[in-house]
Structures are given as C-alpha cells and as structure tokens.
Amino acid sequence: MPALVYVGLGSNSGDSEGILRAACAGLAEFLRGLRVSSAWRSAPRYVLDQPDFLNAVASGECALEPPELLRRCNALEAALGRDRARERVKGPRTLDLDILLYGSELVDLPDLKVPHPGMTERAFVLRPLLELDPDLADPRSGRPFAVFLPSVETQGIYPAGLAALY
C-alpha cells in the first residue's frame, strides 16, 4: 500500500534553481501526485563558510519500500551532480534529498532514519513542510510539527520569490 512521503530538497552549489526543478521532475517519477512547497532561501548551518541554500519540500504517494526510495533519491542526487566522495561533510552540495517522513512509519536502518532525526530543529525543513500540510504531526511523538516552529524562528530563512518549482 502506498505511503504519503515527504522529501526535503536543498542545493547551494551550481544552478540551484535548475537543479531543484530537475529534482522535482525526477521525484515525480516515483512519487505520485507530487506536490512541492515554494522555494526558501536559508543560511547554512553547521559549516558557515558556504553560500545560502535553496530549499523546498516535496510530497507524494510512494509504493517503494523505504530502502528503495533512499536508493532512488541517492541516484537522483548523483545524476544531478552530487559526488559524496568529493564533498565536505555538511558543506556545499548540488543536491541534497532527505526522506523526512514515510507515512506514519518509523524507520531505523543503518543508513536511513525516519522521521528524519534533525527535522524539528531546522526552519528550512519545517517552513516548507508546514506549507504543504499545516496540521502534520510527528509520527514518533504525535506532536504537531507547528509546535517546533517557535524554537527555530531565529534561523535565517526567507521566501526565495521564485515561480513554482514543479
């Protein structure tokens, strides 16, 4: 049975707008009824000496099991120029796709944790996620994601003012 999946998208290297548009088209191949938030610009976290990110969240129905979804997301990243072997951890990247939610499932695999462990601490995830579904709740705690927003308000994030990515 398909699950409603949410995927975070980010880019701060190369033609970020074009890369996110191409990523959305690629996600539409395996996420049915794809919806995409507006684009947001956000200041880098963790490694600060890099350009701002362009971020969004996409959602759609997915029939793939979580490990296969991760494999497809990683392949899409690579197809759009990401080379994990050459990039600095938390540094600039052409494309980062994070599986945020997989229905109400809790996934705990060595290379995949869902819900994404850091999502409630990141404005660049919460703002676009809540744009798609303001009533969405964390499947682990049952708490609405909106309750986490005040704690991330000071993070640098603002609407990118772009036409729809998809």
The residue count for the chain: 166
Tokens of 124: 């660049």
Report the amino acid identity of residue 16. S
Catalytic residue among 96, 122, 127, 138: 96
Contact in structure between 9 and 23 (CB atoms under 8 Å): yes
Catalytic residue among 72, 82, 122, 127: 82
Q: Nearest Cα to 159, choosing from 23, 50, 13, 54?
A: 54
In the annotation, is 41 catalytic?
A: no
Distance of CA 57 to the CA centre of its chain: 5
In the annotation, is 93 catalytic?
A: yes
In the annotation, is 86 catalytic?
A: no
Catalytic residue among 21, 98, 122, 127: 98
CA distance 125 to 128: 6
In the annotation, is 143 catalytic?
A: no
Catalytic residue among 93, 135, 138, 140: 93
Give the catalytic positions in this structure.
82, 93, 96, 98
